[in-house]
């Protein structure tokens, strides 16, 4: 067995042991609960989850949430990258927008829910707007920082080769900033998963957030547990897919991946 293979096995065993301990602890605590209805066991949660999946409701809620997250994340990332590049490249743009960026990034999407519902209604547009909001600032800030941290000698070298502003922008600034953009987007994706629950709590009839919220109505705590568990798994998977895709497509631009041998 190779050392890498051995390392992987040890890691897998560690994770498996951790999950097993938590499940056992959960089972034990739920069996001791005074009102079992309020703290369902892992087995009853699994049963309810499988029942929902058999009816197709779990998949429908999962896809509804995922579609919202992807749409909001894509829109927020596009706006964030554009804004970050503008602010990093042009001082007047930075002076104008940065105060808003610094103020708004501390205001959670949750605080905007009532206003957004009034402006955009209770449909998909409002939810996507909230998810875009939660994405845009972190991506913009990271991109802006990336643009301002392009090593001066890289720009000077390009200038001495005869590159003008446009070529420096496309051949140096953008590639040098990709790592910062990706780091911002990864953080923002985590925020999206938190925000989607809040967005679906209010005026929604689908999605994992709705599933979690509706459990209270029917006194079915298992539903909330299923929703939380599936959302967590979905977030973990999305993060892994994002990392794998970005390091596959953009590895040469990502500082963290530059260790990959090229020949």
Partner 1 sequence: MAYITFRGIDFRYGAQGPLIIRGFHLDLRRGEFFALVGPSGCGKTTILNVLAGFETPTAGEVLVDQQPVRGPQRDRIVIFQEPDSLYPWLTALENVQFPLRVLGVGRSERRARAEHALRLVGLQGHEGKHPAHLSGGMKQRVQLARALVLEAPVLLMDEPFGALDAQTRLILQEELTQIAVRTQRTILFITHDIHEAIFLADRIGVMTAGPESTIKKIVEVELPRPRARGSAAFGELYEETHQILSEEVRRVLRGEDSLL
Distance (Å, rounded) from C-alpha 141 to C-alpha 144? 5
Tokens of 170: 């496309």
Is residue 52 within 8 A of residue 226, CB to CB? The reply is yes
CB of 177 to partner 1, least distance (A): 11
Q: Would you say 113 or 172 has its CB closer to partner 1? A: 172
Q: Would you say 32 or 152 has its CB closer to partner 1? A: 152
Distance (Å, rounded) from C-alpha 19 to C-alpha 41? 15
Q: What are phi and psi of 57, to 5 degrees?
A: -70, -40
Give SS3 for 39.
coil
Distance (Å, rounded) from C-alpha 106 to C-alpha 99? 12
Which residues of this chain interact with partner 1, rule CB under 8 A?
Answer: 151, 153-154, 156-163, 167, 171-172, 175-176, 178, 252-253, 255, 258-259, 261-263
Q: Which of 229, 196, 201 is nearest to 53 (CA)?
A: 229
Q: Would you say 222 or 254 has its CB closer to partner 1? A: 254
Residues 6+ apart with CB under 8 A from 187: 138, 142
Q: Would you say 137 or 180 has its CB closer to partner 1? A: 180
Using alpha carbons, list the distances in angstroms from residue 80 to 83, 105, 136, 143, 256: 5, 12, 4, 8, 21
Q: Would you say 47 or 167 has its CB closer to partner 1? A: 167
Instruction: Please give the DSSP secondary-structure letter assigned to residue 6.
Output: H
Q: Would you say 62 or 158 has its CB closer to partner 1? A: 158
Q: Would you say 9 or 245 has its CB closer to partner 1? A: 245
Distance (Å, rounded) from C-alpha 253 to C-alpha 246? 10
CB of 175 to partner 1, least distance (A): 5
> What count of other Cβ atoms lies within 10 Å of the Cβ of residue 174?
18
CB of 214 to partner 1, least distance (A): 48
CB of 79 to partner 1, least distance (A): 25
CB of 84 to partner 1, least distance (A): 19
CB of 189 to partner 1, least distance (A): 23
CB of 254 to partner 1, least distance (A): 9
């Amino acid at each position: 067995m190779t050392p890498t293979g051995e390392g992987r096995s040890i890691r897998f065993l560690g994770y498996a042991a951790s999950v097993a301990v938590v499940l056992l602890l959960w089972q034990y605590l739920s069996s001791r609960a005074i009102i079992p209805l309020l703290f369902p066991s892992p087995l009853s949660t699994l049963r309810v989850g499988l029942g929902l999946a058999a009816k197709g409701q779990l998949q429908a809620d999962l896809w509804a949430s995922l579609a919202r997250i992807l749409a909001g994340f894509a829109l927020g990332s596009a706006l964030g990258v554009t804004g970050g590049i503008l602010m990093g490249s042009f001082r007047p743009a930075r002076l104008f927008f940065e105060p808003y960026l610094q103020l708004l990034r501390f205001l959670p999407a949750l605080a905007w829910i009532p206003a957004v519902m009034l402006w955009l209604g209770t449909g998909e547009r409002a939810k996507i707007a909230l998810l875009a909001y939660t994405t845009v600032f972190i991506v913009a800030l990271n991109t802006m920082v990336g643009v301002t941290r392009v090593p001066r000698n890289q720009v000077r070298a390009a200038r001495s080769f005869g590159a003008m502003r446009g070529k420096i922008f496309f051949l140096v600034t953008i590639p040098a900033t990709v790592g910062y953009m990706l780091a911002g987007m990864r953080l923002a994706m985590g925020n999206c998963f938190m925000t989607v629950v809040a967005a679906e709590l209010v005026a929604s009839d689908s999605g994992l957030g709705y599933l979690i919220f509706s459990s209270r109505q029917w006194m079915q705590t298992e539903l909330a547990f299923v929703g939380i568990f599936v959302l967590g798994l979905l977030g973990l998977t999305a993060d892994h897919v994002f990392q794998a895709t970005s390091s596959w497509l953009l590895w040469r631009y990502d500082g963290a991946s530059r260790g990959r041998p090229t020949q």
